[in-house]
Structure 1
Amino acid sequence: MSRYRKNFYKILASLLFVALVSFNNSIFAQDGEALFKANCANCHKPDEDYTGPALKGARKREPSPDWVYKWVYNTTSMVETDPYAKALKAKYGSVMTAQSEANISKADITAILDWADKYEKKAPAVSATNGEAPKEDNSLLFGILTIILAVIAFILLQVNSSLRKLSDEKEGILRSEPVPFYRNKSYLMLGVLALFFVGGYITINAAIGLGRMKNYQPVQPIYYSHKVHAGTNQISCLYCHGGAQDSKQASIPSVNVCMNCHKAIKEYKGDPIVREDGTQVNGTAEIQKLYQYAGWNPDSKTYDKPGRPIEWVKIHNLPDHVYFNHSQHVKVGKQQCQTCHGPIQEMPEVKQFADLSMGWCINCHRESKVNFYNKETGEGNKFYSIYEKFHNDIKAGKMDSVTVEKIGGTECQKCHY
């Protein structure tokens, strides 16, 4: 029995070891993907050339195993002295910005390249427009059923009145003729009250909705697909809208920001881009529109005409008396862009996702947790250290969390001038 038990323990230990190794490899791969998205996705793709070369198999193409580390940390000197670096600059026309080892370590670089070497392109997900049945809206069915039940209830009341009349006649009780329902004051009063409440509800909702533009989707001078850029190519929102984490405005990217990539990307080769009305968009023609605004000649690779700004149509508009600071929400509140803008990475053409009403904002403030600064771990936001009492109450178990509402997030002057 003892011998079998030892064998069982050996087998169990082996299985646990294999599972642990597999788990570590999975975590390592996930770290590599996250590091790639944070540091490389703006200029590189794992499996094909982009603004820079594809990272898959990069180490096999490089002169030596440690070449990539020298390149990342010393791009300027490498371009001047290293033949392979010179060839990269000649091919792609630009050089990546040198990074410090404090920002991205050698282990991080290795994780990124290991992930890229194992990368396999995923098959596109099937959407509702590609054969999957859309979700059903049963509102109309419920409305019809409600009307039918109301009619049945009215008929039953009339049947009840007729049966009572027959019963009274049989027993010899004389009663006056019933008043027709269209002259019955009770029924008339109920009808007037119903019209009053329904009309009031519709009027109030219409008044509350004045100025709200949920689902607003204007036609833009260039068809810009966030699904292609932020979704398929995984370009960080902050690469184009850099002001979102540093200032009040998210800012609209200048033409030069677009040209950082489109100097090299002259034609669209991705999946078909289709408008909501079913018409297909010519991605290459839209890139040519960008060149016209920038004054760029893709043949001579020079700016041979004066450029002009792209007249984008603003989608998200708040009233003039409302104050909204992007950096306060993105950097301090740690909110994702999707909180207010919806699944922006899935939108072929951007529309306003939320109604951006005061009630919508207040509800978010009531539910969002505050990221307090923790002196012991050094994590969190030091701005909120003035609310030390809340922090102490949480430690003492008097409360489990603090919402934005409790630190003044619902006060009028927070959002209104």
Structure 2
Amino acid sequence: MNKILAVIMLVLFTGVSVFGQDLSGDSKKGETLFKANCTACHALDKKLVGPALKGIYTTLSSEGVSKEWIMKWIMNNEALRKSGDKRANDIYKEYSEAAMDVFEGRLSDQDIEDILTYVNNPPEPKVEEAQVEVSVKQNTDTDSSKLLLVSFVIIGIILIITLFKINTLVKLSTKGTELSSLESHKIKNLSEFYRKYQGFSYFIISILLIISLYGVWAWLMGIGVDKGYEPDQPIYFSHKIHAGENKIDCQVCHSGAKYGKVSEIPSLSVCMNCHRNISEYNGKYIEPGKSKEFYTGEIKKIYKHIGWDEENQKYTGKQTPVKWTRIHNMPDFVYFNHSQHVVVGEKTIIAGYNKKNPNQQIDVVCKACHGPVDTMNVVRMSNDFTMGWCIDCHRTTEVDMTNGYNAAYFDKLHEKLKLEYGQDKSTITVDAIGGIECGKCHY
């Protein structure tokens, strides 16, 4: 627990007078200290591990709490409890014997004064710039839509007038004896056209047959290729917020990517490592069409599925699985090991990708296959993931020869390639070590 818990608890259980004691701390410094030391267990307006702290000093004054006792509790609540202080031990039992951190040597008396000043009367939150930007963007989009609609209406009217005029001209041109002459030369059905223009008909049929065969072939080659697929999920999860705005490393959630074949979908327990204390969204970034309330609502879905009682800060034991929609699904006859690429090939995959894509540089190996995930609000399949796509990568990606194992293991192969291709052949690509052999991926 945090120093703030100390403050609140002593407020509720203390009986020493503080009337006439004014807070003279720096609220701005107090906010910084509060966020650094207290937010793991406390919020201003709601109960977490400890009680809500907004207006705590006012409440503390009405209950009669001495500032000296507060300092002792925050500095070293453990020592205060061991001294036999009844109030300190009552607070400890009240909050399920959840011991607060000892801040002696970490916080000064002035630090505590600053924190109390901030939590007692925190400044009203400013309207986020991101929200203003979203509002402006939405208004701009609305104006653009109206302009586009008006343009289509005008074009439609022009087309109708043009068609009317053409129809009038056609009627005028077919009046009189010329109509009978035209009718006598008119081809009335497809078979008559085929007999009259047999050679041309063969040509057309051949072209149509080739196009049809190509269409069937293209359709067959597209089976299982779902590039651009981005399904809606039962819980809205923005990678842009987590990986982009908050810079959370991919492997914090997808730990299996480094140590195993499958990167795995993180369990809700992983989500709760952070969202046990982050129950509301207060970030600056808001996706167009969304709101802070929307993101907060999605956090509540996590609580519902995992059975988290937010009010009492404990698990109920009632859980329901989340039916995620899978995006990347490797066929059963294909072997792919994430750790082999994330650990062994990390350096050269990143280098090879950046060389081939000078205008789209990456800093994380995951992006080579999954695209710029840190910019995606909804995750989508960014590449084809076909056999040809994999083989092309193996033919251009170098083996990391700075790795001690690879340098020793492929030493003879390296010399052989130099003899075969000349001394300038100083690199070994994955295909040279069996990266395109059938048995490497199909077993």
TM-score of the superposed pair, with normalisation by structure 1: 0.54
Instruction: Report the AA paired with residue 240 of structure 2.
Output: K
Mapping for residues 319-330 of structure 1, pairs under 5 Å: 319-330=331-342
1:203-232, CA deviations, whole angstroms, 9 ceiling, x for partnerless residues?
101011112222222221110110110011
C-alpha contact (below 8 Å) 1:243/1:250 kept by paired residues = yes
1:281-306, CA deviations, whole angstroms, 9 ceiling, x for partnerless residues?
70000001111122222222222343
1:384-404, CA deviations, whole angstroms, 9 ceiling, x for partnerless residues?
632112434569724032211
1:408 aligns with 2:431: no
Instruction: Report the AA paired with residue 84 of structure 1.
Output: R
Segment drifting more, 304-313 vs 316-325: 304-313
Hey, what does 2:306 align to over in structure 1?
294
Per-residue deviation at 1:86?
12
Instruction: Report the AA paired with residue 331 of structure 1.
Output: V
Q: Distance in 2 between matches of 1:198 and 1:342?
A: 33
Hey, what does 2:381 align to over in structure 1?
352
Hey, what does 1:35 align to over in structure 2?
none
Q: Distance in 2 between matches of 1:337 and 1:412?
A: 24
Based on CA coordinates, which of the two structures has the bigger radius of gyration?
2
Mapping for residues 14-413 of structure 1, pairs under 5 Å: 49=35, 82=104, 84=106, 183-271=196-284, 273-274=286-287, 278=289, 282-334=294-346, 335=349, 336-373=365-402, 380=403, 382-383=405-406, 385-392=408-415, 397-413=423-439
Segment drifting more, 341-350 vs 301-310: 301-310
Q: Distance in 1 between matches of 2:308 and 2:36?
A: 19
Q: Distance in 1 between matches of 2:303 and 2:429?
A: 48
Instruction: Report the AA paired with residue 196 of structure 2.
Output: R
Q: Distance in 2 between matches of 1:232 and 1:272?
A: 7
Instruction: Report the AA paired with residue 340 of structure 1.
Output: C
Change (3 A) 1:81 1:239: same
Instruction: Report the AA paired with residue 239 of structure 2.
Output: H
Q: Distance in 2 between matches of 1:311 and 1:200?
A: 40
% identical aligned pairs: 38
Q: Distance in 2 between matches of 1:391 and 1:48?
A: 58
1:229-281, CA deviations, whole angstroms, 9 ceiling, x for partnerless residues?
00111100000001101100101111111111111211112246447xx5667
Change (3 A) 1:298 1:123: closer
1:331-351, CA deviations, whole angstroms, 9 ceiling, x for partnerless residues?
011141111111111110111
Change (3 A) 1:305 1:85: farther
Q: Distance in 1 between matches of 2:272 and 2:221?
A: 42
Hey, what does 1:144 align to over in structure 2?
none
Per-residue deviation at 1:410?
0.8
Q: Distance in 1 between matches of 2:34 and 2:104?
A: 24
C-alpha contact (below 8 Å) 1:221/1:311 kept by paired residues = yes
C-alpha contact (below 8 Å) 2:241/2:285 kept by paired residues = no
Per-residue deviation at 1:48?
9.8
Change (3 A) 1:388 1:288: same
Instruction: Report the AA paired with residue 381 of structure 2.
Output: Q
Q: Distance in 1 between matches of 2:105 and 2:269?
A: 29
C-alpha contact (below 8 Å) 2:227/2:384 kept by paired residues = yes
1:24-45, CA deviations, whole angstroms, 9 ceiling, x for partnerless residues?
xxxxxxxxxxxxxxxxxxxxxx
Q: Distance in 2 between matches of 1:351 and 1:415?
A: 24
Q: What is the CA RMSD across the aligned residues, in angstroms?
A: 3.9
Q: Distance in 2 between matches of 1:300 and 1:348?
A: 32
Change (3 A) 1:310 1:190: same
C-alpha contact (below 8 Å) 2:227/2:382 kept by paired residues = yes
Aligned residues: 262
Gaps of 5+ in 2: 1-31, 41-99, 112-127, 145-192, 350-364
C-alpha contact (below 8 Å) 1:365/1:409 kept by paired residues = yes
Q: Distance in 1 between matches of 2:130 and 2:406?
A: 44
Q: Distance in 2 between matches of 1:274 and 1:80?
A: 40
Q: Distance in 2 between matches of 1:308 and 1:235?
A: 26
Per-residue deviation at 1:354?
1.2
Q: Secondary structure at the match of 1:356?
A: coil
Per-residue deviation at 1:50?
7.9
Per-residue deviation at 1:85?
7.8
Change (3 A) 1:81 1:279: closer
TM-score of the superposed pair, with normalisation by structure 2: 0.52
Q: Distance in 1 between matches of 2:302 and 2:198?
A: 70
Per-residue deviation at 1:185?
4.1
Instruction: Report the AA paired with residue 357 of structure 1.
Output: T
Q: Secondary structure at the match of 2:410?
A: helix
Instruction: Report the AA paired with residue 290 of structure 1.
Output: I
